[in-house]
Amino acid sequence: MRASNVAALALVAALAAPAAPIPALAADPPEDEKKPATLRDEIRLFSYLETSYTWNLRGAGRGGVNELRVYDYDEGFTFNMAEFSIKKDPSEAHPFGFGLVLTAGADAQKNHSLGIFRDDGDAFPFRNTPPFDVQEAYVGIRIPVGGGLNVRAGKWVSLLGYEVIESPNNLNFSRGYLFNFAGPFTHTGVVATYFAADWLTVQAGITTGSDVTEDNNDSPTVGAGFQVTPVEGLAITMGALVGPEQNNDDRNQRWILDLVTTYTGIARTTLAVEITGGKEKREASLVALDTRRDTDASWWGWGVWAAYDWTDRVRTAIRQEYFRDADGARTGFGRKLSLWSTTLTLQYKIWRGLVGRLEYRHDQADERVFRDRYDSAHTLAPTSRAMDTISLSAYYFF
């Protein structure tokens, strides 16, 4: 913000005046005399509101949709999310923990797990389901074993992937293909986290499946992973899931493997890389098509993120992604499909917790999957291999 002439004169006068004595800083108390964290200190509150408007530059919209998107699926104005979150991690002083995340809005409607506001008859984008969700609800306890063992039971967001459901915690407004198609949003079950060393954390759990609270079969999905921080600013996280995900079927397994590396050791810079892949035996949608003998499905992809904070208010971020749906099962295309995406985001902190984002995104495919013109039946037809969108969004966190 530019200073006025009056402000400049005042500044000169202030610099010319005798400097006031600087009071001595109080020394920090010795480590053993510091007050331990109270229960209130360990409780974390987080809430935010988000709204957005998306323009489709290729004409696919006209009141329509943006193909292969989740939260910015509809062109035009969207009230995305209202979230209230209260969490406490187990600690040595207070060994119990809990988490409750309640959400409302168009985004919340698309996060339903099977059994909570969604049943077998609902399909994306869940337009007939309530526009609110219990995103997380769990309790936890710390067991004094070695470096500490935390056990959590209930429903929580997936530990796989770089991007998350909460928009303020992502570098870009829109979520990429890896978030949309590669893995689950939430799990319900039990997970244990062991702090083996300052640089090593290990996790293992058993759940009802991916985005499933009311189990749709009689076998669980198991997961395991670890995070290493070999040097300051560098974190490497590996996670895996395996289990049956199909309705009333305990034999056809799904495997997912995910690797995320983040680096924040350069001032004002955030760098991240994700590599992921999965496979499913006799995938249900391919079996239903009945057009091929081999109905196993596989997919893989990678993503690269980079962000730079030019000032305390201004950040720019770029995301480059590739996703290979080798059998068309994850995207619903029905045959192999390759997708590329480049996303540029400008973020500006407007006032306190109010943040605005301007985003341009280009999506490219090797098949015609984007709708940009009407066919003879006056229906928008998938005739394009590319789609460009601009999004203007704002969120307020408190």
Does residue 19 fall inside a structural domain? Answer: no
Residue 334 has pLDDT above 70, yes or no: yes
Q: Is residue 2 part of a domain?
A: no
- Residue 82 φ/ψ, nearest 5 degrees: -125, 120
Is 229's pLDDT higher than 50? yes
Residue 273's domain comprises: 37-397
Answer whether residue 101 is part of any domain: yes
**pLDDT tens sequence across 294-305:** 899 999 999 999
Exposed/middle/buried for 128, CB within 10 Å: 0-12, 13-18, 19+? exposed
Closest to 340 in 3D by CA, of 306, 364, 304: 364
State how far the Cα of 152 lies from the Cα of 193, in Å rounded to an integer: 8
Assigned domain for 170 exists: yes
Q: What is the pLDDT of residue 357?
A: 98
Q: Percent of the chain at pLDDT above 70?
A: 87
Q: Which residues sit opposite 263 in a β-bridge?
A: 234, 271
SS (H, E, C) the chain: CCCCHHHHHHHHHHHHCCCCCCCCCCCCCCHHHCCCCCHHHHEEEEEEEEEEEEEECCCCCCCCECCCCCCCCECEEEEEEEEEEEEECCCCCCCEEEEEEEEECHHHHCCCCECCCCCCCCCCCCCCCCCEEEEEEEEEEEECCCCCEEEEEEEEECCCCCCCCCHHHCCCCCCCHHHHHHCCCEEEEEEEEEEEECCEEEEEEEECCCCECCCCCCCCEEEEEEEECCCCCEEEEEEEEEEECCCCCCCCEEEEEEEEEEECCCCCEEEEEEEEEEEECCCHHHHHHCCCCCCCEEEEEEEEEEEEECCCCEEEEEEEEEEEECCCCCCCCCCCEEEEEEEEEEEEEEECCEEEEEEEEEEEECCCCEEEEECCCCCEEEEECEEEEEEEEEEEEC
Residue 31 inside a domain? The answer is no
pLDDT of residue 293: 86
pLDDT tens for residues 272-323?
999 999 999 999 889 988 888 889 999 999 999 999 999 999 999 999 999 9
Residue 28 has pLDDT above 70, yes or no: no
Q: Is residue 18 part of a domain?
A: no
Mean pLDDT of all residues in 2-14 = 37
CATH number at residue 63: 2.40.160.10
**Total tally of structural domains belonging to the chain:** 1
Q: What is the pLDDT of residues 36-92, one digit of tens each?
A: 789 999 999 999 999 999 999 876 545 578 889 999 988 899 999 999 999 999 999
Would you say the C-alpha torsion 84, 90, 93, 95 has a positive or negative sign? Answer: positive
Between residues 117 and 259, the one the model is more confident about: 259
Instruction: Look at residue 16 in the predicted model and tell me its pLDDT.
Output: 35
Model confidence at 128, pLDDT cuts 50, 70, 90, reads confident
User: How far is 22 from 163, CA to CA, in rounded Å?
Assistant: 46
Q: pLDDT band for position 13 (50/70/90)?
A: very low
* Residue 193: per-residue pLDDT: 97
How far lies 115's CA from each of 188, 248, 279, 331, in Å?
11, 15, 25, 23
The pLDDT of residue 161 is 97
Question: In this predicted model, what pLDDT tens digit does every residue of 160-218 receive, in sequence order?
Answer: 999 999 999 999 999 999 999 999 999 999 999 999 999 999 999 999 999 999 999 99
Give per-residue pLDDT as tens, 130-158.
999 999 999 999 999 999 999 999 999 99
Residue 10 in this model has a pLDDT that exceeds 90: no
pLDDT, averaged across the chain = 88
Using the predicted structure, report yes or no on whether residue 4 has a pLDDT greater than 50.
no
Residue 6 domain-assigned (yes or no) = no
Assigned domain for 20 exists: no
Asked whether the predicted pLDDT for residue 26 surpasses 70, the reply is: no
In this prediction, residues 93-112 reach a mean pLDDT of 96
Phi and psi dihedrals of 89, rounded to 5?
A: -85, 145
